[in-house]
Amino acid sequence: MRTRRLRTHGARLRCAAVVVAAGMIVAGCGGGDDAADGYTSAIGSSIDINPKEVGELREGGNLRLAVTSYPANWNTLSNDGNDGEIGEIVRAMLPRAFEVDASGQLTVDTDFFTGVELTSTDPMRVTYTINPAAVWSDGTPITWEDIAAQANALSGRDKRYLIAITNGFEFVEKVERGVDDRQAVLTFNTPYADWRGQFAGNTNLYPKSVTSTPEAFNTSLADAMGVSAGPFIVTGTDRGQGRITLGRNPRWWGDKPVLDTITYSVLDHSSWVQALQNNELDLVRLTTLEDVQTVRGTQDLVVRRAPGNRWRHITFNGAPGSILAEEGVRVAISKAIDRQHIVDALQGGLVEKPTPLNNHIFLQGQKGYQDNSLGFDPDAAARELDALGWKLNGDVREKDGRKLVIRDVMYNDPTWVQIAQIIQQNLAAIGVGLTIDTKPGAGYFTDVIQPGDFDAAQFIFQGDPFPLSSIRQIYYYDPDDLQGNYGRIGSPELNALIERTLTELDPEKSIELANQVDRKVFEEGHSLPLMQTDGSVGARSTLANIGSPGLATYDYTKIGFLK
């Protein structure tokens, strides 16, 4: 899911969702017991969730978590609902095709499907066999029609569906009933590399009541969750108080959940650690060395960490009329930003040898990751702006009477502001002005990012093990179907390269093509990756089977508190 989302073959990651308000507060470097202790940011092998057998946990209990804003739309497939925090809430309530371990390896989630198989290659066909016990929370069976309705909605053929991602369904020619209503057969009109991720990771299956018509898709979950299927369901909401409660699903056919309830409270991110200290929350993301030190120094709290699958970045606005509409200007500005300075400021003491993220598609430590960036070169940036006609006039460059001053928009959090201040200093050195424009979490995407009300925007992408379909969502440019391309930047050449990548079934060739896509994204000045998060969380010492999962999925039936 901006906080939003991402996806692999083996250990590849993708980005589809966006993290809205996972802000950070900058802290200085530390040493001794507070230092990184050899911890790196490479993802793909570790997990820290305090694993325990169910027999070691006490029956019942309420898990208290936090989000930064109330859901704008509970349909995470829609533009308004494409938010990582919403995705985290609904994950315990919707079907998925695969479970994922710490290394990104997949196994079929047998609670929902007894088989997910590539059953033909010419033409390509994928067969989903649904668990015969699986039902929606209103008691109706989960059937092939639910899969068919979602495939149609996400195909992109009907522009009335305000979709956040096609997820490869643009290549699905038809969905047919299999041997019975519990089996769906997807026939593709071209090979699709990331077919395993179409109902997995951050893209769960919704009932046909949500996806069968554009009206239902766009608005039916704007105010409430509706019908779901999983170990938990929504049992209470209070928009005014900023409270969402999940309870056990009485129609759940799988293992009985240990917890009675999961409660989400809407809180400004800056208050999360204090709420954890005050025994008002049980688990929070930590974003600074100061956060880590605070949790370590508090009785009955622990720090859990595994390399994170979230990454900070800057998206540029290339729409006609924007100050950054010209590709060369965006590229020059990218070269003038000292990302190593940013990552040192944010992760010094948290990560051993902090390094910027130099790839839009793969994370550090994943198969396929390589440095495709243009590098930090302010002298070249200044020369390129001169050549484009942006000449210094005092402290700021001008062209045709227009000053080169960009407005950097971000969630109102001290860390985002600190990043912007570093960028402001970098750009001032080459005669570019930067205005820092902070926004509240509520409406950040629906009112600011989606309409393109920015010159540059900062937010977080969140990963899962299926990377390729998100490259179309974010980097493919279709002015009539923007999906996640909020900067409105792209080219026919990049579009064609993305299509080649998505339809290449050879894993090694798809990695090679994906890195060509990544280099082209840098060269077009679409966006600039900054860093991976370190994955630290603060938790009650008695909390088990949840924490810092890396790429892995949670088993929500096994989360609980020690006896």
Residue 502: what are its φ and ψ, rounded to 5°?
Answer: -70, -25
Residue 52, amino acid: K
The angle at the Cα of 245, spanning 242 to 248, to the nearest 5 degrees, equals 170
Contacts for 153-159: CB closer than 8 Å, 24+ residues apart:
153/77, 153/211, 153/212, 153/214, 153/217, 154/77, 156/481, 158/214, 159/480, 159/481
Q: Give residue 9's pLDDT band: very low, low, confident or very high (50, 70, 90).
A: very low
Window from 51-60, 406-415, 522-531 with minimum mean pLDDT: 406-415
Name which residue leads in pLDDT, 189 or 6.
Answer: 189
Q: Which residues contact 357 (CB under 8 A, 6 or more apart)?
A: 311, 313, 363, 364, 529, 530, 531, 532
Strands 536-540 and 456-464 come out as unpaired
DSSP run (H or E) holding 391: strand 391-393
- The residue written with tokens 């979709």 in the block is 163
The helix/strand/coil state of 390 is: coil
The helix/strand/coil state of 41 is: coil
Name which residue leads in pLDDT, 442 or 227.
Answer: 227
103 Ramachandran zone, left/alpha/beta (phi>0; psi -120 to 50): alpha
- Interval 338-379: pLDDT, tens: 999 999 999 988 888 899 999 999 888 778 899 999 999 999
Mean pLDDT of 219-241: 96
Q: Give residue 3's pLDDT band: very low, low, confident or very high (50, 70, 90).
A: very low
Q: Do domains 69-220 and 310-532 have the same CATH topology?
A: no
Q: What is the pLDDT of residue 415?
A: 87
CATH number for the domain whose boundaries are 232-306+536-562: 3.40.190.10
Half-sphere exposure (Cβ direction) of 387: Cα atoms closer than 13 Å: 11
**Dist. CA 539–CA 302, nearest whole Å:** 5
Q: What is the pLDDT of residue 483?
A: 86
Q: What is the pLDDT of residue 42?
A: 58
- Interval 139-169: pLDDT, tens: 999 999 999 999 999 999 999 999 998 999 9
- Interval 294-328: pLDDT, tens: 999 999 999 999 888 889 999 999 999 999 999 99
Judged against a pLDDT cut of 80, whether residue 1 lies above it is answered with no
Q: What is the pLDDT of residue 27?
A: 26
Judged against a pLDDT cut of 70, whether residue 20 lies above it is answered with no
- Interval 452-500: pLDDT, tens: 999 999 999 876 678 787 898 899 999 988 888 999 999 999 999 999 9
Q: What is the pLDDT of residue 123?
A: 95
- Interval 393-435: pLDDT, tens: 999 999 999 999 999 999 888 889 999 999 999 999 999 999 9
Q: What is the pLDDT of residue 352?
A: 83
Mean pLDDT of 501-506: 91
Q: What is the pLDDT of residue 41?
A: 54
Judged against a pLDDT cut of 60, whether residue 31 lies above it is answered with no
Judged against a pLDDT cut of 90, whether residue 551 lies above it is answered with no
**Dist. CA 526–CA 488, nearest whole Å:** 8
The helix/strand/coil state of 384 is: helix
Window from 188-197, 377-386, 438-447 with minimum mean pLDDT: 438-447
Judged against a pLDDT cut of 70, whether residue 32 lies above it is answered with no
Burial-class residue 399 by CB neighbours within 10 Å (0-12, 13-18, 19+).
Answer: middle
Judged against a pLDDT cut of 70, whether residue 193 lies above it is answered with yes
Q: Give residue 93's pLDDT band: very low, low, confident or very high (50, 70, 90).
A: very high
- Interval 248-287: pLDDT, tens: 999 999 999 999 999 999 999 889 999 999 999 999 999 8
In the chain, the percentage of residues whose pLDDT exceeds 90 is 77
**Dist. CA 70–CA 240, nearest whole Å:** 9
Judged against a pLDDT cut of 70, whether residue 8 lies above it is answered with no
Instruction: Select 69-220's CATH number: 3.30.450.20, 3.90.76.10, 3.40.228.10, 3.30.420.40.
Output: 3.90.76.10
Mean pLDDT of 28-45: 44
Q: What is the pLDDT of residue 552?
A: 87
Judged against a pLDDT cut of 90, whether residue 4 lies above it is answered with no
**Dist. CA 159–CA 217, nearest whole Å:** 12
Burial-class residue 107 by CB neighbours within 10 Å (0-12, 13-18, 19+).
Answer: exposed
Peptide bond preceding 231: is omega within 30 degrees of 0, i.e. cis?
A: no
- Interval 233-250: pLDDT, tens: 999 999 999 999 999 999
Q: What is the pLDDT of residue 10?
A: 30
DSSP assignment of 226-285, as one string?
-S--SSEEEEEEETTTTEEEEEE-TT--SSPPS-SEEEEEE--GGGHHHHHHTTS-SEEE
Mean pLDDT of 21-33: 29
pTM of the model: 0.82
Q: What is the pLDDT of residue 23?
A: 27
Domain ranges of the chain: 69-220, 232-306+536-562, 310-532
Q: Give residue 19's pLDDT band: very low, low, confident or very high (50, 70, 90).
A: very low
Give me the CATH topology for the region 310-532. Answer: Dipeptide-binding Protein; domain 3 (3.10.105)
Q: What is the pLDDT of residue 44?
A: 54
Six token digits for residue 427: 């750009």
**Dist. CA 543–CA 558, nearest whole Å:** 11
